[in-house]
Amino acid sequence: MAEVPRLGVLWCPHWSVAVAGARADEPVVVVHANRVVAHSVAAAADGVALGQRRREAQARCPHVRIEHHDPARDARAFDQVVQAVGAMVPRVEITEPGTLTFMARGPARYFGGETAMAAKVIHAAAVAVGHSLEAVGSLGLGVADGRFAAGIAARRAAAQGMPLVVEAGSGATFLRDLPVQLLAEVAGVSSEFVHLLHRLGLHHLGALAALPATDVSARFGPLGAFAHRVAGGGDDRLPGTHDPPSGMQVQRVFEPPVLHSDALVFVGRQLADELVATLAADGRVCTRLEVVAETEHGERSERLWYRSTGLGAAAMVERVRWQLDAWAQGGDLTAGVALLRLDPVEVRSDDGVQLGLWGGRTQADDWAVRAVARLVALVGEQQVLVPAVEGGRQPHDTYAWVPAATADLADPSERLAVQAAPWPGSLPAPSPSVVHAPGQPIAVFDAAGQPVGVSGRGAVSAAPATVHLDGSAHDVAGWAGPWPVDERWWDPARARRTARFQVLTRSGRLLLVAVERGQWWLSAEYC
Amino acid sequence: MPARVVNPTHLSDLAGRGLVTRAGSSTAAQDRTLPLLPVFSSLVSQGAVQRGSVMACTGGAAMSLALALAAGPSQQGAWVGAIGMASLGLAAAAEAGVVLERLVSVIEPGSDHLWAEALAACIDGFDVLLLGPGTQQVRTGTARRLMARLRARGAVAITVGAPVFGGDLRFECTSATWLGLGDGHGVAQGRVAEVALTGRRVPQTRRAEFWLPSADGQVRAVGAPATAPVVPLRRTG
């Protein structure tokens, strides 16, 4: 087990809540796709838990503040922690916003032991985070053999409130009595697999590690072999992980230097596309990426990004943006950026996280989901909308626009499920291509210039002859109706009684109009 | 260790490379175009639109036409971003063939600066942009810069009532007649619209008649396509 690297992991529990600026006793949750992804200590005390629906969290804790998930904001804020730790420890790698990993052997020797180093690092990090930490508990720092054991140690250290150092070679003992759920929480193994282990009576990591490796591998394939290896404190790098051959890096020199971060990210995207295509041609995927940017005055930003499932082009660009934004926000830039370089530091063979061929996720979906997150951050969540099926008889009732920030873009089946219930009285296709909600007030007159009305029994007083709309009169060339709707008559507050008409003007515009209590409305138009 | 510098001559290829890369569509020609619905092959050569181009829809049936144009790429996996189209009828979009799972609407960003940033984010993220009358606040210079980015990125814009973005392909509905509606009876069953296509890459005005929409909301061809003068169409490309 000598080849397993000693790693230190610094973990901030519920980082996005800390970024949201929660006070010590304030209940705050961060919601992504309608599910709680992070919560403050005060919210947890009221029964809020990870994975709950937004409404469930609100029911448990009515005065909870709800924040939206914004990975870019989390990453920007995390940069100061990376800087603080990076000043003491070389090659700090950002595993995700809120978690960083570093090689422990060198710094431990320098600071006089792993415990002394851990105390120094966590102190520096706590100073960088500041008082917003009070809302989420305390930082955790774990030092152990391999990423998995160190990650667990960091989580336990956060609970204890002091750094935890697992002695070299004792990883298997440390992990033995821990539950197998940690495989899903820390190592990113699918939760179905963990359920299966439970059903097989394997509740602890030690029980899994005690099985013969060949049997586990035969039964569960590569995933089982990986779980077995990490459960026994072994190397948690996937087989086929290695340093890439030299010359894989891609870079661009800017002449003249570029000041605009948007333009840089755009170039970053071209570089990322190029890099991913080169790696994919060899059947490989980058798991650790170094992004370097330099200004013409020699200022330099260098960050190491990690993702266990591999960094796609979109994920690379996202990280370039995070890094450049944090750098620009730091405020010590004196010149434009003259160099941007992407360097794959660690690659492994692609184990076939295949993009969808028919159905499934595609690269386009990946880009779009990221674009939506960026748009929400730019213009606000009420301005970025996606469709959802609602059901109803009026054109604006059949579908509704819901904020994209609260919807699950990757799995739209819930929001766009076709309803089995028929809506008798709804208008047949073709549907209007422009829907006015709420409707615009208009006036409809008959040939004698009298307002057209509809009686309680659904009889029209006279054929409509002119429609007054947008301040001008339009002659009617054809019309049909009335099609009455009497909705929710049992509920006085929401009851609606309207009669709808299609009206074709002489200029060729087809309108859907409705009369309700003597007032005419333009509800939709067939443009 | 010599770093591999991206050769600037290949940058245009890189930028123009498709995002909707799927198995079977790896040939270069297909990568540089987005497929339209088959019904448009009578009007647009090859039935596909060059990535990076702007399609401007005007006239009576502009909105239905824009939705029908967006439907082709949408069904092939592209995402459609509707910008400045707060009153887009979703039922009509679904009937026209736009896949609602991949439709996102951005309403009113506000200032010109925010418009530019939001549109840039849309260009980066979505393959098809539907630009509606809400985008009128965008200044000419901003629009020109954004369209340059659109070309570099290889997305396609479809505009309705947004002349500021120009148009490589201009679709004009020269006549539109609704059928099915009587004097106090019937219901609108479809519209016959004649669409004329002009543009820089279209040497001669092309015309075709469509049901826009037909009785089920889809676009369909009416009879055989007709050309303006009696000059036979030459296959291009």
Q: Distance between alpha carbon B202 and the CA centroid of its chain, in Å? A: 16
Chain A residues in contact with B128 by the CB 8 A cut-off are none
> Cα–Cα distance between A11 and A149 in angstroms, integer?
13
Q: Do B51 and B154 meet the contact criterion of CB atoms below 8 Å apart?
A: yes
Task: For residue B14, name the pLDDT band (cuts at 50, 70, 90).
Answer: very low
Does residue B74 lie in a domain region? Answer: yes
For the cut 70, the answer to whether the pLDDT of residue A355 exceeds it is no
Query: For residue range B147-175, what is the model confidence (pLDDT) as tens digits?
Result: 999 998 899 999 998 888 989 999 999 99
pLDDT on residue A130 = 81
For the cut 60, the answer to whether the pLDDT of residue B26 exceeds it is no
Q: Distance between alpha carbon A503 and the CA centroid of its chain, in Å? A: 45
For the cut 50, the answer to whether the pLDDT of residue B17 exceeds it is no
Question: Which token pair is A524?
Answer: 């939709």
Across the interface, do B118 and A270 touch by the CB < 8 Å criterion? Answer: no
29-88 in chain A: CB under 8 A from chain B: none
Task: For residue A448, name the pLDDT band (cuts at 50, 70, 90).
Answer: very high
pLDDT on residue B224 = 45
Give the domain-ending residue among A349, A373, A396: A349
For the cut 60, the answer to whether the pLDDT of residue B1 exceeds it is no
Does residue A396 lie in a domain region? Answer: no
pLDDT on residue A488 = 85
Strand segments, DSSP code E, in chain B are 4-5, 33-35, 48-50, 54-59, 80-83, 103-106, 128-131, 156-160, 169-181, 186-199, 202-211, 220-221, 226-227
Chain A residues in contact with B105 by the CB 8 A cut-off are 384-387, 401
Task: For residue A419, name the pLDDT band (cuts at 50, 70, 90).
Answer: low
A386-389, Cβ contacts within 8 angstroms, sequence gap of 24 or more: A386/A412, A386/A415, A386/B103, A386/B104, A386/B105, A387/A415, A387/A416, A387/B90, A387/B100, A387/B103, A387/B105, A388/A415, A388/A416, A389/A415, A389/A416, A389/A417, A389/A418, A389/A419
Does residue B206 lie in a domain region? Answer: no
Give the domain-ending residue among A320, A349, A378: A349
More confident residue, B64 or B200: B64
Residues A140 and A11 both lie in one domain: yes
pLDDT on residue B7 = 40
147-166 in chain B: CB under 8 A from chain A: 149, 152
Task: Output the domain CATH number for residue B138.
Answer: 3.40.50.300
Residues A165 and A265 both lie in one domain: no
Does residue A237 lie in a domain region? Answer: no
For the cut 90, the answer to whether the pLDDT of residue A466 exceeds it is yes
> Cα–Cα distance between B165 and B140 in angstroms, integer?
8
Residues A57 and A159 both lie in one domain: yes
Residues A115 and A255 both lie in one domain: no
Q: pLDDT above 90 covers what percent of chain A? A: 37
> Cα–Cα distance between B78 and B159 in angstroms, integer?
17
* Rounded alpha-carbon distances, angstroms, from residue B60 to A509, A522, B194, B214, B215: 8, 18, 10, 15, 18
* Interface-testing mutation among B4, B31, B111, B174, with chain A (most A C-beta atoms within 10 A): B4
Task: For residue B13, name the pLDDT band (cuts at 50, 70, 90).
Answer: very low
Q: Do A375 and A403 meet the contact criterion of CB atoms below 8 Å apart?
A: no
DSSP B202: E
Q: For residue B138, which of B130, B150, B146, B128 has the smallest C-alpha distance?
A: B146
- For residue B13, count other CB atoms closer than 10 A to its CB: 12
Does residue A517 lie in a domain region? Answer: yes
Count CA atoms closer than 13 A to B4's CA, side-chain side.
Answer: 15
Peptide bond preceding A412 in cis form (omega within 30 of 0):
no
Q: For residue A278, which of B8, B29, B3 has the smallest C-alpha distance?
A: B3
Q: For residue A235, which of A244, A224, A226 has the smallest C-alpha distance?
A: A226
Strands A6-11 and A99-103: antiparallel
357-376 in chain A: CB under 8 A from chain B: 357, 362-365, 367-368, 370-372, 374-375
Residue A248 phi/psi, 5° resolution? -85, -20
Across the interface, do A395 and B89 touch by the CB < 8 Å criterion? Answer: yes
pLDDT on residue B228 = 42
- For residue A300, count other CB atoms closer than 10 A to its CB: 11
pLDDT on residue B96 = 94
Strand segments, DSSP code E, in A185-231 are none
pLDDT on residue A24 = 81
A459 touches chain B (CB under 8 A): no
Does residue A212 lie in a domain region? Answer: no
Give me chain A's average pLDDT, please. 87
Query: For residue range A221-270, what is the model confidence (pLDDT) as tens digits?
Result: 888 888 898 898 887 776 667 777 777 889 999 988 888 877 888 888 88
DSSP A519: E
* Rounded alpha-carbon distances, angstroms, from residue B98 to A404, B60, B128, B176, B210: 18, 20, 11, 22, 18
Does residue B11 lie in a domain region? Answer: no
Query: For residue range B192-220, what is the model confidence (pLDDT) as tens digits?
Result: 999 999 998 888 999 999 998 998 889 99
Query: For residue range B68-122, what is the model confidence (pLDDT) as tens digits?
Result: 999 999 999 899 999 988 899 999 999 999 999 999 999 877 777 888 889 999 9
Angle between helices B112-125 and A261-281 (to 10 degrees): 0
pLDDT on residue B150 = 92
Across the interface, do B108 and A436 touch by the CB < 8 Å criterion? Answer: no
A519 touches chain B (CB under 8 A): no
Q: Do B105 and A386 meet the contact criterion of CB atoms below 8 Å apart?
A: yes
For the cut 80, the answer to whether the pLDDT of residue A363 exceeds it is no
Q: What is the DSSP string of A368-413?
A: HHHHHHHHHHHH-GGGEEEEEE---SSHHHHEEEEEGGGS-SS-TT
* Of residues A401, A430, A479, nearest to B213 (C-beta): A430
Does residue A290 lie in a domain region? Answer: yes
Give me chain B's average pLDDT, please. 82
Residue B16 phi/psi, 5° resolution? -80, -5
Q: For chain B, what is the domain count?
A: 1
Across the interface, do B188 and A386 touch by the CB < 8 Å criterion? Answer: no
Distance of residue B63 Cα from the nearest chain A Cα, in angstroms:
5
Q: What is the DSSP string of A11-54?
A: E-TTHHHHHTT--TT--EEEEETTEEEEE-HHHHHTT--TT-BH
Does residue B42 lie in a domain region? Answer: yes
Task: For residue B234, name the pLDDT band (cuts at 50, 70, 90).
Answer: low
A241 touches chain B (CB under 8 A): no
Task: For residue B233, name the pLDDT band (cuts at 50, 70, 90).
Answer: low
For the cut 80, the answer to whether the pLDDT of residue B6 exceeds it is no
Chain B residues in contact with A481 by the CB 8 A cut-off are 184
Does residue A59 lie in a domain region? Answer: yes
Q: What is the mean pLDDT of residues A154-161?
A: 90
Across the interface, do B109 and A383 touch by the CB < 8 Å criterion? Answer: yes
A489 touches chain B (CB under 8 A): no
Q: For chain A, what is the domain count?
A: 3
Nearest-Å Rg of the Cα atoms of chain B is: 19
Task: List b or e across B218-227, with b for residues whose CB sees 16 or more CB atoms inside 10 angstroms.
Answer: bbbbeeebee
Chain B residues in contact with A470 by the CB 8 A cut-off are none
User: What pTM does this model have?
Assistant: 0.69
> Cα–Cα distance between B189 and B193 in angstroms, integer?
13
Give the range among A275-279, A419-423, B56-60 with minimum mean pLDDT.
A419-423
* Of residues B15, B63, B102, nearest to A433 (C-beta): B63
pLDDT on residue B58 = 93
Which structural domain range is residue B105 located in? 30-172
pLDDT on residue B236 = 67
DSSP A431: P
pLDDT on residue B83 = 92
Residues A157 and A47 both lie in one domain: yes
For the cut 90, the answer to whether the pLDDT of residue A3 exceeds it is no
* Of residues A262, A395, A434, nearest to B63 (C-beta): A434
Chain B residues in contact with A383 by the CB 8 A cut-off are 106-109
Query: For residue range A474-525, what is the model confidence (pLDDT) as tens digits?
Result: 999 999 989 998 888 898 888 888 999 999 999 889 999 999 988 999 999 9
Task: Output the domain CATH number for residue A276.
Answer: 3.30.1490.100
pLDDT on residue A352 = 57
Across the interface, do A364 and B63 touch by the CB < 8 Å criterion? Answer: no
Question: Which token pair is A417?
Answer: 């499920």
Give the domain-ending residue among A118, A149, A169: A169
Q: What is the mean pLDDT of residues A277-291?
A: 88
Distance of residue B10 Cα from the nearest chain A Cα, in angstroms:
10
Does residue B118 lie in a domain region? Answer: yes
Which structural domain range is residue A442 located in? 434-526
A249 touches chain B (CB under 8 A): yes
Across the interface, do A436 and B184 touch by the CB < 8 Å criterion? Answer: no
pLDDT on residue B30 = 53
B228 touches chain A (CB under 8 A): no
Q: Closest residue of B to A437, CA-based?
A: B87
Count CA atoms closer than 13 A to B194's CA, side-chain side.
Answer: 11
Residue A502 phi/psi, 5° resolution? -100, 130
Does residue A281 lie in a domain region? Answer: yes
pLDDT on residue B232 = 57
Chain B residues in contact with A384 by the CB 8 A cut-off are 104-107
Chain B residues in contact with A341 by the CB 8 A cut-off are 3
Question: Which token pair is B223?
Answer: 């009879």
Across the interface, do A433 and B216 touch by the CB < 8 Å criterion? Answer: no
Q: Do A305 and A291 meet the contact criterion of CB atoms below 8 Å apart?
A: yes
For the cut 90, the answer to whether the pLDDT of residue A433 exceeds it is yes
Task: List b or e across A389-408, with b for residues whose CB sees 16 or more CB atoms inside 10 angstroms.
Answer: beebbbbbbbbbbeebbbbb
Does residue A139 lie in a domain region? Answer: yes
Query: For residue range A105-131, what is the model confidence (pLDDT) as tens digits?
Result: 999 999 999 999 999 999 999 888 887
Task: Output the domain CATH number for residue A95.
Answer: 3.30.70.270
Q: For residue A318, which of A37, A71, A17 has the smallest C-alpha distance?
A: A71
Q: What is the mean pLDDT of residues A152-176?
A: 90
